[in-house]
Amino acid sequence: MLEGRFITLGVTGGIAAYKAAELASRLNGRGAAVHVIMTRSAGEFIRPLTFEALTGNPVYTDLFSASHLFRMPHIDLAGRADVMVVAPATANLLGKLAHGMADDLLSTAVLAATCPVLICPAMNMNMYANQVVKDNIARLAQYGYHFVEPEVGRMACGHFGQGRLAETETIMGAITTLLAGQGDMKDLTVLVTAGGTREPIDPVRFVTNRSSGKMGYALAEAAFSRGARVILVSAPTCLPGPAGVETVLVESAGEMREAVMRFYPEADVVIKAAAVADYRCARVAEQKIKKDGETLILELVKNPDILAELGRNKREGVTLVGFAAETRDLEENARQKLDKKNLDLLVANDVTEPGAGFGTDTNIVKLIYSGGRAEDLPLMEKSLVAHRILDAVLEIRQNR
């Protein structure tokens, strides 16, 4: 999501200024174009050269210098930014911003910003606890500025309290969330299912499949990065829950069905990437099954088809996307599923192809639309496949 985004990073003069270098480096590493504005006192703690080396861009310090990339840095750095971040923000800067003062490049640029502005205060704990600082923050929050609170911990001055600049990871998360709010899915709620369900045999064993959950998680992340509210109903995987996504963990197909039906009324788009077990044990043993016999016969009964149920109860305006994992007759099997389950789009893949299907980081899929159109996508990262699927969803919704 950070790829190609223009981020203006303001650095003020606090001991945490050095941590802004890590932030600049991480943002740059994720593909963002980072443009740094330093206040005069920030220059007492860290040299502009550090940021220039880390971002590959000139660093701006002076309101009156017309050099560098931009003719009017305070206007250009504010106007072109997708998001503006001030980290660390001193009590002095908060005071100036809260009262509309603009006496240097950073305060002027923040005042000129029309994009979201994220402020990350850092200062001594007594300063942070001072009512005047609190009032300034409350006032700025009312004006629509966003904040990442400082953390509690040992301070450079040796005291323990709240005032340390938030962790880089936390600030990165807040930036991502702000950028997501501007995406092309910002008015949509997307319900995604992922992972392979587990159908219990006894308290220690279960039947499952090879799904890793990667495709579903990539979809959840991609939709979130484009501004959607995302609800991820996930069967067990080894993956960390995507940041910002409401994740509901389930085990069996029955539990997945229950969760999907609970959230279905809120969803505009449902993407069923989960590999739902088609059968479950007719009887789940209460105690662990002992290896008494030479053979063990499990009786399996059919699970409800969640997607087919959604298709039968499809609401006006909902877009339903299914997956079909096939090992032969890909297109024919996929088209049958699309029709039978009343879907708008089916993502079909031949799981026997190298680079496609279960556990891999890449996929080769065919998108089959309800109107009959089919589109072959080449081998690509699952995150890119996810974006192509979301592009298709938006196209379907536009052409309704």
Contact call for residue 322 and ligand CTP (CB under 6 A) = yes
Residue that is written with structure tokens 């002095």 in the block: 92
Contact call for residue 337 and ligand CTP (CB under 6 A) = yes
Strands 362-363 and 269-272: unpaired
Q: How far is the CB of 252 from ligand CTP (least distance, A)?
A: 11
Contact call for residue 389 and ligand CTP (CB under 6 A) = no
What is the number of residues in the chain?
400
Residue (140 or 324) nearer to ligand CTP, CB: 324
Catalytic (active site) residue 115 = no
Q: How far is the CB of 375 from ligand CTP (least distance, A)?
A: 18
Contact call for residue 393 and ligand CTP (CB under 6 A) = no
Give the range of 55-63, 127-135, 322-330, 362-370 binding ligand CTP by CB under 6 A. 322-330
Distance CA 170, CA 172 (A): 5
Residue (81 or 324) nearer to ligand CTP, CB: 324
Residue 315: how many CB atoms within 10 A of its CB?
A: 11
Kindly write out the interface string for residues 253-272 of this chain, putting x where it contacts ligand CTP by CB under 6 A and - elsewhere. x------------------x
Distance CA 6, CA 154 (A): 33
Selection from 54, 137, 126 nearest residue 96 by Cα: 137
Residue that is written with structure tokens 């708008």 in the block: 344
Q: How far is the CB of 82 from ligand CTP (least distance, A)?
A: 34
Q: How far is the CB of 326 from ligand CTP (least distance, A)?
A: 7
Please report, in angstroms and rounded to a whole number, the separation of the first and last CA atoms in the chain. Answer: 28
Q: How far is CA 23 from CA 34, 76, 175, in A?
A: 10, 22, 11
Pick the binder of ligand CTP from 135, 169, 184, 278 (CB under 6 A): 278
Residue that is written with structure tokens 């953390």 in the block: 151
Give the range of 183-191, 239-247, 273-281, 357-365 binding ligand CTP by CB under 6 A. 273-281
- For residues 344-383, one letter each, b for 16 or more C-beta atoms within 10 angstroms of the residue's C-beta and e for the rest, the string is bbbbbbbbeeeebbbebebbbbbbbbbeeeeeebeebebb
Contact call for residue 274 and ligand CTP (CB under 6 A) = yes
Give the range of 111-119, 168-176, 320-328, 373-381 binding ligand CTP by CB under 6 A. 320-328
Distance CA 199, CA 224 (A): 30
Selection from 152, 147, 116 nearest residue 134 by Cα: 147
Q: Dig out the tokens for 398 from the structure.
A: 């536009």
Selected catalytic residue, list 115, 120, 157, 238? 157
Pick the binder of ligand CTP from 61, 212, 303, 360 (CB under 6 A): 303
Q: Dig out the tokens for 70 from the structure.
A: 């931009």
Q: How far is the CB of 219 from ligand CTP (least distance, A)?
A: 12
Contact call for residue 324 and ligand CTP (CB under 6 A) = yes
Contact call for residue 8 and ligand CTP (CB under 6 A) = no
Contact call for residue 305 and ligand CTP (CB under 6 A) = yes
Pick the binder of ligand CTP from 174, 215, 250, 306 (CB under 6 A): 306
- Amino acid at residue number 353: E
Strands 300-302 and 146-147: unpaired
Contact call for residue 307 and ligand CTP (CB under 6 A) = yes
Positions that interact with ligand CTP (CB under 6 A): 253, 272, 274, 276, 278, 303, 305-307, 322-325, 337
Q: Which residues are catalytic?
A: 157
